[in-house]
Amino acid sequence: MEFELAADADAAARLARLKPLVAGREGRPRSQAVKIVWHDSPDHALLADGLTLAEQRGERRLERVTPGTETWLPGQPPLLPDPPDELPSPLAPLAAFEGRRSISVHRMADATVTLTIDKGTLRAVTAERPVARISLSGDEAAVRLAATLIAGAVPAAVPGCSLAAEAIALAIGGTPQPRHLGAPVLPAEARTVPQALAHILGHLTDVVLAHAPRVLMPPGGDAEDAVHDAIHQMRVAVRRARSAVSIFRAALPEGALDAVGNGLKTLGGRLGPARDWDVFADETIPAIQAAIPGDERLDRLAAAAARQRTMHRKELAQYLASPAFRQLGIDLAWFAAAQGWRALPPPPHQAEPAADSDAAAEPGPEPMTLTQFADGVLQQRWKKLLSAGKRIDELDVPALHDVRLRAKRLRYAAEMFATLHDGKAAKRFIERLSDLQERLGVLNDGAVASHLLPELGGPGGRHAYAAGVIAGFMAARAGRIRPRIVKAFQRFRRQHAYWA
């Protein structure tokens, strides 16, 4: 396995003194000068296709800067696509990396890992910046152990972009384009269940890592909207990833996804309060203030809510800056790229009969295809949603909350597997499902508000009047949204199960 971490130059230099690495080092490190120059045309024709031409020691190769339609997992070396029939012309240097490369071999448990550290400077015409990349190669378990040791000792983490992307961003200004955003889309090459899981988890790991630095931006001013959106997008990505763990758990040996699932649950638990207070402070309270303008008691409650939101954001930021979050990024990226779990035997109910059993001579069942697996997941979640909303016009708020959760789980699954069937039918199905989920979400905002109000003193505290106004406002809004929920569910129920 090959695995890459990013660090600043000072952090990379400290690795030479890291005791577990020094103790297990075999032989002396080798060092050499390294220079990489990335080229493009004046109109950035290669970059427009997510590509660059890298030159090193007289050899040129085409590299991906941003993922295309194929799978490019986080922490993995750049993809090297086939060169086109004709490269744009003229090509000129755009950015470069100059520094030293240190290569050493280390024993980790019962295996060895090759540690390569590139430490130097990214240079463009008008800017330069020190940078370091740490590459590990060897046995999967040993690579994970080494990455964990490094990330626990220095601020090294799975990079959010390739070195080429970082260099090009320095040259043209701005920040590197995120590798992935939004919902994962399965590429044509993902034809098996393990390949699909790896692509989905890899994509969502990229999304989480892309938004984490935005959460750490100083709040206030122009950055406020960016922080608000980053928390929201991270939470959605974590929910999608946890849904993927739930979907694929049955297809893997027992316990294979436990570490990944537990890490995502921890991150979700940090993101949840910050996001809930964002919605309450920035959406719920302002809507009520607009309906009752000039109420000082509501203004005081809004100020108290803003303080609570700030507290939870600080707690989230502390976690995202911690070794624990760096370790989660490593765990997610490592699992997506690892091959060991893909070769494990299937769960007992899918296992082939033993060689000495009476059934050994009988032909076993054909392996389940990805489409068959996806169709089974969609069918099961679809039926559960229809059952939960059978008498939707009579359901109380807790029951409608259950409908919302089932709608969300079905939508995440439908988005993951949308490319396996007719695109138009899947798109229409997801649109109607999203409409239902959105209307149920309005109702859920009231439940969240009632859950948050006790932190501000509740009905018997100093904000009792304002809390009562909010409770009444949310109850009235729930009454107005109910007919729209029923209508959206009935419209969705008439949808054809396009996978059947």
pLDDT value of residue 85: 80
pLDDT value of residue 453: 85
Averaged pLDDT, 118-130 = 94
The proportion of the chain whose per-residue pLDDT surpasses 90, expressed as a percent, equals 69
pLDDT value of residue 316: 96
Q: How confident is the model at residue 354 (pLDDT cuts 50, 70, 90)?
A: very low
Could you report the per-residue pLDDT of 477-486, keeping only the tens digit for each?
A: 888 899 999 9
Q: How confident is the model at residue 40 (pLDDT cuts 50, 70, 90)?
A: very high
pLDDT value of residue 350: 44
Kindly state the DSSP code that residue 2 receives in the 8-state scheme: E
Give the span between the Cα atoms of 489 and 193, in whole angstroms: 31
Q: How confident is the model at residue 348 (pLDDT cuts 50, 70, 90)?
A: low
Could you report the per-residue pLDDT of 274-289, keeping only the tens digit for each?
A: 999 999 999 999 999 9
State the CB neighbour count (10 A cutoff) for residue 315: 13
Q: How confident is the model at residue 217 (pLDDT cuts 50, 70, 90)?
A: confident
Averaged pLDDT, 391-399 = 90
Three-class HEC string of 437-492: HHHHHHHHHHHHHHHHHHHHCHHHCCCHHHHHHHHHHHHHHHHHHHHHHHHHHHHH
E strand or H helix that includes residue 8: none
Q: How confident is the model at residue 229 (pLDDT cuts 50, 70, 90)?
A: very high
pLDDT higher than threshold 50 for residue 355: no
pLDDT value of residue 254: 85
Q: Which residue is it, tokens 């090959």?
A: 2
pLDDT higher than threshold 60 for residue 20: yes
Give the span between the Cα atoms of 230 and 235, in whole angstroms: 8
pLDDT value of residue 460: 60
pLDDT value of residue 349: 46
Both structure tokens of 407: 């709608």
Give the span between the Cα atoms of 230 and 212, in whole angstroms: 7
Averaged pLDDT, 228-248 = 96
Could you report the per-residue pLDDT of 162-172, keeping only the tens digit for each?
A: 999 999 999 99
Please, are residues 54 and 164 in contact by the beta-carbon 8 Å criterion? yes
pLDDT value of residue 356: 41
